[in-house]
Amino acid sequence: MMDEARASALVALAKAMPTGPTCVRALSYFEPDVPWNADFLSYRAQCYESAAQGLAQHAQEDLRAFLAHNPTKFSAFLVR
């Protein structure tokens, strides 16, 4: 397996490109034990949905589970 820092850098680069095979490949280094944070899970769901990847439904389920079990950050309620 690619070390986590390199895989994270690959995902960061993929985020700068249109979704498609590049993001799917970048995310594949983390499957099946993906980082459990909102930014990663949201990008993963978006990528797989856009690329019509077979893991799209599972990615959406993971994102919904994360959001259901994690409180909203206080900063989300601050007026800007």
In a domain, 24, yes or no: yes
Q: pLDDT value at position 48?
A: 95
In a domain, 75, yes or no: no
Number of folded domains in the chain? 1
Tell me the HSE value of 18 on the side-chain side, using a 13 A CA sphere: 2
Q: Which domain holds residue 32?
A: 4-69
The pTM score is 0.82
Q: How large is the average pLDDT for residues 8-23?
A: 91
pLDDT in tens, 27-56: 999 999 999 999 999 999 999 999 888 899
Q: pLDDT value at position 29?
A: 93
If you ran DSSP here, which 8-state letter would residue 80 be given? -
pLDDT exceeds cutoff 80 at 26: yes
